[in-house]
Amino acid sequence: MTEDPMAEAAADGLSLFDALYEGEDAVVRLLRAGAPAESSDQDGASPLYLAAVSDRPGVVRLLLAAGADPDRACGPESGDLPICGAACGGHTEVVEALLSAGAQPDLREQFGFTALRWAVGLGHARTARTLLAHGADPCLPGPEGEAPLLLAARRGSLETVRALLRHGAGAPDGALEEALAEARRLGEVNLERELRDGLLDAYGESEEHQVCVHRAVVDGGETLTVELVRNGEPFAGRDQQTGHGAIATLLETELGLLASFEELARRALRSGNPDLDNWRASAQALRERGDEETRQAAAAWCAAGDPLRRAFGADVLARLGHPGA
């Protein structure tokens, strides 16, 4: 005997909002039982929005197939968009599902944020690439008039800057220069101290909490995270990507500018790691010059007392000797 989906769903005692967190099978049962894909919880949030911000791409696809509107704003003041919620978390698969279902990439939320503004500002390069590939405007200003390229440079995400440039973000007059100035400025800042001081200004210094610092390297980029920890649990934190040196080098290339040998070496050595973008971008820029003056500068670095500077000089010489390196 075939089970009645309505009876089965009722027996589970689940609403569609509960089912989002139980898994796709529970969502399927309720949708088959007649639960509307378009509904709201007590806070005005839609099932699609909650699934999007929770990074549940399978559930998102089920709701979209059942008729959920990918562009429906929801929340207490009807100001939250599913695609913005997903982009804010860097949930690329969800963003892709929403775009494939017809979501408009440049819709603004209540306070003027678009999905690309969230992705760029938080350094979610893969999400930004997906939005740009589906037609998001790389030059559309944020709610305070800020250009996406400037935000990407400020965030320190080299891959996000590259994605924006590939889609024409450098077209407006002054956009490249403004982003370059910001990358150069932040390349001189002690980011760890800035993040730490910002947290302590907000929450105060106390013997009850500790400051913990984490560094994570993903695809050549480093993310610095500073957290306040109380009783072994973080209760506040800030993070920042650190590819400002590499971004400055890239933007200089776009503008036809040449940084000095010493400036490129400084950017590489400040990262202290040959596997990081800041080092590799400087070494690549010097390889592309490939002249005798560059070779002499690299040879001088190889004779330096600092082992890291010697390593950088050797890296540059190796690249000059092997054009495909």
Closest CA to 49 of 88, 105, 22, 10: 88
Q: pLDDT grade, residue 14 (50/70/90)?
A: confident
Domain 5-187 has CATH 1.25.40.20: yes
Residue 321 has pLDDT above 80, yes or no: no
Spell out the long-range contacts of 160-166 with Cβ–Cβ below 8 A and sequence spacing 24 or more. 160/119, 160/120, 160/123, 160/124, 160/125, 160/128, 161/247, 161/250, 161/251, 162/125, 162/250, 163/125, 163/128, 163/129, 163/132, 164/120, 164/128, 164/132, 164/138, 165/250, 165/254, 166/132
Burial of 248 (C-beta count, 10 Å sphere; 0-12/13-18/19+): buried
Across the range 7-31, mean pLDDT stands at 81
Per residue in 160-207, pLDDT (tens digit) is: 999 999 999 988 889 999 999 999 999 999 999 999 999 999 999 998
The whole-angstrom distance between residue 203's C-alpha and the CA centroid of its chain comes to: 26
Task: Write the CB contacts of 91 (distance below 8 Å, at least 6 apart in sequence).
Answer: 52, 53, 55, 57, 127
The 10s digit of each residue's pLDDT in 282-316 is 999 999 999 999 999 999 999 999 999 999 999 99
pLDDT of 6 reads: 45
Q: Report whether 32 contacts 5 (CB < 8 A).
A: yes
Q: Is 227 helix (H, G, I), strand (E, B) or coil?
A: strand
pLDDT at 155: 98
The candidate with the shortest Cα–Cα distance to 74, out of 115, 37, 46, is 46
Q: What is the pLDDT of residue 322?
A: 54
The Cα–Cα gap between 313 and 319 comes to: 10
Question: Domain limits of the chain?
Answer: 5-187, 271-321
pLDDT confidence bin for 9, thresholds 50/70/90: very low
* pLDDT value of position 7: 43
276: DSSP letter: S
What is the per-residue pLDDT across 236-287, written as a single tens digit (0 to 9) for each? 999 999 999 999 999 999 999 999 999 999 999 998 999 999 999 999 999 9
* pLDDT at position 16 over 80: yes
> Which of 30, 33, 72 is closest to 49 using CA atoms?
72
Q: Is pLDDT of 151 > 70?
A: yes
Model pLDDT, residue 13: 63
pLDDT in tens, 53-112: 999 999 999 999 999 999 999 998 889 999 999 999 999 999 999 999 999 999 999 899
What pLDDT shows up at residue 218?
87
pLDDT of residue 170: 87
Average pLDDT, the chain: 93
What is the arithmetic mean of pLDDT over 214-223? 93
